[in-house]
Every structure is written in structure tokens, then in C-alpha cells.
């Protein structure tokens, strides 16, 4: 069953060949068997999942509506609220915080018949690129247990890769869905900013964050986006647009499609990444695409721009975590000042403290103009550069990551860690959709991925192009070796 896509599982349920309880039990058993080593989940919601499954079976039996995502198991990153469940954000600060409401994402998923299996691990408050910065435990990469799964949505991504669930959800602030998806050989999607509601997502960088799905194939991404890509009145950044259909009138070829590649920006690539990227472009050419060189040299500033804007917004968003309104209060505090100081000192990890300090600095008097306002100006230039590029091509393509997954504790320099998001942060800065698609493996059998960008709100066309690319590349090895012989 673990080789089935989300669409196939749903159809087996609708055809009454499998019950929702059977599907749910199967994946809960896989979690029980494998997650002790992988550590994808912070909290497995077995009782909730089985209760939902029983209700779905009863609805199907009585010919009631079961929803377009009926009986599809789903994993949720633990910075997205589920009513009455703990939302930790993988931080010691929130180990006692029980969500008082459902996120819009969860509301939609459950109304469409999805079965939520549990909350997954992440870098604390989604701040990291390796899932090593969780305050609980690191998650392992199913393809190589000595390597990181990427971050910050490492738990959800590794869970999909290990087939502990067919669908996972993460939040993508600078590549936190696409980068780990690339490391784990699954499909990761960042929608256009505002296409999916952020209501109930614990904010990191509000102008950059976007909830995105993770799946084993692009068609499953399309199915999920058909359900969740809708307007939300509770989210002021949600776009008031109708839902779209992704799985009809699918793209049949790349004929008459222009692919823009910023070749100058891609100089000095890792040799295995370069070889794979060139081979991926060749597949597009063989199927009718025209490859053109485009000027996106300004993207060399994207990491600097991202870490100024993201940390500034993080500093503002995390100001409310003070030991009074949310989360744990220090037991050592004796005065009001102690509560503020010690609660944050004891509750936040090193990476979170580092980003709060940096964000506070770039917003402080005397430095706001020098850093934050200048970063916003360059952001506008990056948005314009993408607009100019898309005036000459349909999609922009780059590698998803500058290198393959790396071993735990192997990157000591924080700047080197930040550079892991080199090819993913531009989409968040510009607010455009982007998708990471598995495209092969290096000599050590570590996954490599291809990334496609589209103009804002061209989500349907992008997912369809990814599905076509996936079909043409036809990867033979899609299951981590640990599970391939089952």
C-alpha cells in the first residue's frame, strides 16, 4: 500500500476496495515500525486519525459526501494549529501550548475527508535548513540515515519519503518545503504568496511564509492544491480568487514553451548537481522546450536580502513569546523582568536567539535605513527581474539545491548553512510559485532535484509542467533502499 499515490488510495477507498480504517491503520503501523529511528513525528495522533477514519467509512456506507481528499493520510508540520492539540514549533517554549482553534488548512483538509496522522518535526520555529535545530531531536534522511533531511520542514518531508504518509505539509519561508524535498527525493511545492491561507500557521517571516504540500508525485500536489487553494476571510494576505482545477487539460508536451535559465548565476555549481541539471534541461529540449539564457544576476543578493527581511520579521513575530501570553514561564523568575528575560533565555534555542538578535539589530535606530530598507529596495529589484524574465519565457529553471544532503553536524559555519537555500529563497522574495522535482541521484545515491519557477498565480500551469517533466524523466528508483524490498 505504501507504493500507492494519494489519488490511488482515495480511489481504492471510494471503490470500497479498502476502508479508511484499513488505510489509516496501515500507515500508523508503518510509523510505529520506522519512526523510532527516523524521528519524523513529534506527536502521532492515532486516536484522532482512527476516529476520523471510522466516520468516513460510515459516511461512505450511507452514501454521504466524503470529500475530494477522502481517506488520504496527511502529516502536518508542528507549527500549524490543530484544535486542542499541542503546537510546539519544535521549541521548549511551547511544550505546554494547546491550540485553541484550527488552522484554515486543517479545517479544509478535514472537511474534505483527509485523515491527519500527526504533527511532524522541524527546525525550531521553522528557523533552519537541516532539521538539526529542533529542540527535541534531529530527523534522519530516509535515503541516508547519517545525513540530514533538510529543513525546516524535515519531519514532513522525511515522512513522505519513507512512505509513513502519502502527503505532508510544511511551511516554506525560504525553501523550507523545497530544499528538504530535494534532499529526500519527493516533490515539494511553494504556492504563489496568498494562494493558500496562512491562518493558524505560527508566523516566522510574514511576507515570506507560505504553507505548501509535499507528495511523492506532482499529480498528488495538484489534487491537494485543488482543495486548499481558496480564499480565507481570516487571513488578510489571502487572495480573493476562485479555486482552480489542476488535473484537467493536462500539459501534453513542452512544445512552444520557453524555459529561462540564468546560466551566469549557476556558475561554479557542484559537478554532480551541474551534470544532473544539464541532463534535465536536455529532457525538456527533447520534448519540445526551447532553452534560453536569461539575466537574473541580481539573485546573488537574494541570501543577504532574505536574511535581513526574514530575521526582522522573525524578531517582530516572536516578540509575543514572553512567558506571559504564550508558552512556558521560567520557574526561576522572581520579578517581571526575570519572567521576560529567563523565559526567553530558557525557552529559545541558539538559532532562534541568533535570528532574533540579528532581526532586532537591522530594525534598530540607526541601522534600519542601512539594512532593512535597503533590503526591501533590492527585493523590489528582484521582483522586477523575475517579471522581466517571464516576459521572455514561460518558466525559469534552476537546481533545487547547491549540493546533495550532508551529514549531521558537518556544517559549522552559519553562513554556509544559510547558503543551502541559495536557489530556493528567490521564490519567497518574489512571491512566485516554485516546485522541486526529483531528477536523479549522485554517485553516492543521494537525491538530486530540479526546480521550476512560474509567474505569480500561474500555479496550475507550473504543477502541470512539473507533472509532465516527472513523466518524461521517469526515475526508476523512487523508494528509499530501506523500504524498497518490502
| Residue 189 CB partners (closer than 8 Å, separation 6+) | 177, 178, 212, 213, 214, 215, 221, 225, 433, 434, 435, 436, 463
Amino acid 326: pLDDT: 84
Instruction: Report the pLDDT value the prediction gives residue 273, as an integer from 0 to 100.
Output: 97
Alpha helices (H) in 114-238, listed in sequence order:
154-161, 178-184, 218-228
| Nearest one of 93, 8, 143, 107 to 340, comparing CA atoms | 93
Catalytic residue selected from 129, 130, 156, 176:
176
Counted residue by residue, the chain has a size of 486
Q: CB 416: neighbour CB atoms within 10 A?
A: 12
Identify the pLDDT of residue 366.
86
Task: Quote the pLDDT of residue 485.
Answer: 64
Active site residue 77: yes
This prediction has a pTM of 0.97
pLDDT of residue 482: 76
pLDDT for the residue 54: 98
List pLDDT tens digits, range 256-303: 999 999 999 998 899 999 999 999 999 999 999 999 999 999 999 999
**64 exposure class (CB count in 10 Å sphere: 0-12, 13-18, 19+):** exposed
Nearest to 106 by CA among 131, 74, 136, 72: 74
Which residue among the candidates 130, 135, 152, 192 is catalytic per the annotation?
A: 152
- Position 257 scores a pLDDT of 98
| Bridge partners (DSSP) listed for residue 397 | 452
Dist. CA 382–CA 378, nearest whole Å: 6
Structural domains in the chain plus CATH codes: 6-256+392-484 (3.90.1300.10)
Of all helices (H) and strands (E), which one includes residue 302? Answer: helix 302-317
The confidence score (pLDDT) of residue 365 equals 85
C-alpha distance from residue 441 to each of 2, 188, 274, 325 (Å): 22, 17, 12, 47
Residue 238 appears among annotated catalytic residues: no
Q: What is the dihedral of CA 150, 425, 169, 274, to 10 degrees?
A: -50
According to the model, what pLDDT value does residue 481 have?
79
| Alpha carbons within 13 A on the beta-carbon side of 119 | 22
Helix H or strand E encompassing 339: helix 336-347
Specify whether 153 is catalytic: no
Residue numbers of the chain with a pLDDT score lower than 70: 477, 484-486
Query: In Å, how far are 356, 382, 440 from 202, measured between CA atoms?
Result: 15, 26, 34
| Residue at grid coordinates 509513513 | 164
Q: 170 has which bridge partners?
A: 212
Chain CA centroid to CA 294, Å: 27
DSSP state of 40: -
Question: In whole angstroms, what is the distance from residue 153 CA to residue 180 CA?
Answer: 7
Amino acid at each position: 500500500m505504501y507504493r500507492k499515490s494519494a489519488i490511488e488510495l482515495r480511489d481504492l477507498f471510494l471503490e470500497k476496495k479498502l476502508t479508511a480504517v484499513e488505510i489509516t491503520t496501515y500507515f500508523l503501523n508503518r510509523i510505529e515500525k520506522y519512526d523510532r529511528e527516523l524521528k519524523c513525528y513529534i506527536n502521532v495522533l492515532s486516536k484522532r486519525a482512527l476516529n476520523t477514519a471510522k466516520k468516513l467509512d460510515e459516511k461512505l456506507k450511507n452514501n454521504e459526501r466524503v470529500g475530494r481528499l477522502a481517506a488520504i493520510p496527511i502529516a502536518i508540520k508542528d507549527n500549524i494549529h490543530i484544535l486542542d492539540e499541542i503546537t510546539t514549533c519544535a521549541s521548549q517554549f511551547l511544550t505546554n501550548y494547546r491550540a485553541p482553534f484550527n488552522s484554515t488548512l486543517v479545517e479544509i483538509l478535514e472537511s474534505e475527508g483527509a485523515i491527519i496522522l500527526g504533527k511532524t518535526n522541524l527546525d525550531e520555529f521553522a528557523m533552519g535548513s537541516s532539521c538539526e535545530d529542533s529542540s527535541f531531536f534531529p530527523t534522519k534522511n530516509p535515503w541516508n540515515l547519517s545525513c540530514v533531511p533538510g529543513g525546516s520542514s524535515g519531519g514532513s518531508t522525511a515522512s513522505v519519503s519513507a512512505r509513513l504518509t502519502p502527503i505532508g505539509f510544511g511551511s516554506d519561508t525560504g525553501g523550507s518545503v523545497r530544499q528538504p524535498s530535494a534532499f529526500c527525493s519527493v516533490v515539494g511545492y511553494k504556492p504563489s504568496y496568498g494562494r493558500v491561507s496562512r491562518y493558524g500557521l505560527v508566523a516566522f517571516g510574514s511576507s515570506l511564509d507560505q504553507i505548501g504540500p509535499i507528495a511523492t508525485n506532482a499529480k498528488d500536489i495538484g489534487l491537494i492544491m485543488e482543495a486548499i487553494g481558496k480564499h480565507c476571510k481570516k487571513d488578510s494576505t489571502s487572495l480573493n480568487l476562485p479555486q482552480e482545477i489542476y488535473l484537467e487539460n493536462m500539459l501534453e508536451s513542452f512544445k512552444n514553451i520557453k524555459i529561462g535559465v540564468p546560466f551566469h548565476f549557476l556558475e561554479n555549481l557542484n559537478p554532480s548537481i551541474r551534470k544532473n541539471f544539464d541532463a534535465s534541461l536536455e529532457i525538456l529540449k527533447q520534448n519540445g522546450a526551447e532553452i534560453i539564457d536569461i539575466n537574473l544576476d541580481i539573485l546573488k543578493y537574494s541570501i543577504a536580502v532574505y536574511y535581513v527581511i526574514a530575521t526582522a520579521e522573525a524578531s517582530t513575530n516572536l516578540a509575543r513569546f514572553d512567558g506571559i501570553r504564550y508558552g512556558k514561564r521560567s520557574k526561576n523568575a522572581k520579578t517581571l523582568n526575570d519572567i521576560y528575560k529567563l523565559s526567553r533565555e530558557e525557552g529559545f534555542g541558539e538559532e532562534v536567539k541568533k535570528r532574533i538578535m540579528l532581526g532586532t539589530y537591522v530594525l534598530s535606530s540607526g541601522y534600519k535605513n542601512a539594512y532593512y530598507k535597503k533590503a526591501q529596495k533590492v527585493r523590489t529589484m528582484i521582483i522586477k527581474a523575475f517579471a522581466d524574465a517571464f516576459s521572455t519565457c514561460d518558466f525559469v529553471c534552476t537546481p533545487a539545491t547547491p549540493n546533495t544532503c550532508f551529514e549531521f553536524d558537518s556544517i559549522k559555519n552559519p553562513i554556509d548553512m544559510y547558503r543551502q537555500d541559495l536557489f530556493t529563497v528567490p521564490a519567497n522574495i518574489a512571491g512566485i510559485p516554485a516546485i522541486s522535482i526529483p531528477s536523479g541521484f549522485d554517485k553516492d545515491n543521494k537525491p538530486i532535484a530540479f526546480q521550476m519557477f512560474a509567474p505569480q498565480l500561474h500555479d496550475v500551469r507550473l504543477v502541470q509542467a512539473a507533472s509532465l517533466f516527472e513523466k518524461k524523466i521517469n526515475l526508476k528508483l523512487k523508494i528509499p533502499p530501506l523500504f524498497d524490498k518490502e
